[in-house]
Amino acid sequence: MTIRKATVADQPRIHAIRMGVKENVLSDPSKVTDEEVAWYREQAIFLVAEEDNEVVGFACGNHLSGLVWALFIDPGHEGRGHGRALLDETLARLKAAGHSQAHLNTGGGTRAERFYRRHGWRDMGYDLGGQVVFVRSL
Ligand SMILES: CC(C)(COP(=O)(O)OP(=O)(O)OC[C@H]1O[C@@H](n2cnc3c(N)ncnc32)[C@H](O)[C@@H]1OP(=O)(O)O)[C@@H](O)C(=O)NCCC(=O)NCCS
C-alpha cells in the first residue's frame, strides 16, 4: 500500500470512486466544484492510496480549518486498512499545519460513523443537514 499526493491525472479515478461508494453518496454532484477540487489538490491536503499501482481511495484535508473534507475507499477495497492509513496521514498533515483538533461530518448509521467512533472521534451531535459532527484531538 502506498499513500501519495493526488495529481490531475488521478482525477477520473477519484471521481469514479466518489460516485461508486454505497454510503455517504453524493446527492448532488454539482455541489463539489472543479475549483474546489483543484484547491484541495494544489493548496491543501489531497492524498490517494494505491494498491498494485491502482488508486483505491482518497482523502482531503483543509490545512486552514482542520476539516477532513473527504475520505472515500473503493467498495471493492474496503477493510484492508486504506481508510485508516489515509486518515492517519491526513491528520498528521493537519497537525503539522498547526491544528490541535480535526473535525468532519458524516452520515449517521454508516460504516464511516462506526469507523470514526472506533478511531477516537467524539460525536458532537447532528448538524442542520442531519449529519453527525465528529471532532478529534491531534
Ligand atoms: C469508512 C471508510 C473510509 C473506511 O475505510 P476502510 O479502508 O474500509 O477502513 P479500514 O480498512 O482502514 O478499517 C476498517 C476495518 O477494516 C479492518 N481492517 C483494517 N486493516 C485491515 C487489513 N489489513 N486486513 C483486513 N482487515 C483490515 C478492520 O476491522 C478495521 O477496523 P479497525 O480499524 O477498528 O481495526 C470506507 O468504508 C468508505 O469509504 N466508506 C464509504 C464512503 C464514506 O462513507 N466515507 C466517509 C465519508 S465522511
- Calpha distance 113→121 (Å, rounded): 9
Cβ neighbours of residue 130 closer than 8 Å, sequence gap 6 or more: 107, 108
CA 78 to centroid of ligand 1, rounded, Å = 6
Q: d(Cα 29, Cα 126) in Å, to the nearest integer?
A: 22
Residue with the nearest Cα to atom 16 of ligand 1? 79
Q: How far is the CA of 23 from the centre of ligand 1 (A)?
A: 13
Q: How far apart are CA 99 and CA 4, in angstroms?
A: 21
Q: Which residues' Cβ are closer than 6 Å to ligand 1?
A: 21, 23-24, 71-73, 78-84, 104, 106, 110-112, 115, 118
pLDDT of amino acid 30: 85
Question: What's the pLDDT score for residue 27?
Answer: 82
Q: What distance in angstroms lies between residue 66's CA and the mean position of ligand 1's atoms?
A: 21
Q: Catalogue the E-assigned strands of 63-107.
A: 67-73, 101-107
Say if pTM beats, i.e. exceeds, 0.85: yes
User: According to the model, what pLDDT value does residue 104 have?
Assistant: 98
Q: What is the pLDDT of residues 10-67, one digit of tens each?
A: 999 999 999 999 998 988 888 899 999 999 999 999 999 999 999 999 999 999 999 9
Assigned C-alpha cell, 106: 458524516
Report how far ligand 1's centroid is from the alpha carbon of 80 (Å).
Answer: 7
What pLDDT is attached to residue 15?
95
Please give the domain boundaries of the chain with CATH numbers for all domains: 2-102 (3.40.630.30)
Q: In this predicted model, what pLDDT tens digit does every residue of 90-126 receive, in sequence order?
A: 999 999 999 999 999 999 999 999 999 999 999 999 9
The residue whose CA is least distant from atom 12 of ligand 1 is 81
Cα Rg of the chain, angstroms:
14
Q: What is the atom index within ligand 1 of the atom nearest the CA of 85?
A: 12
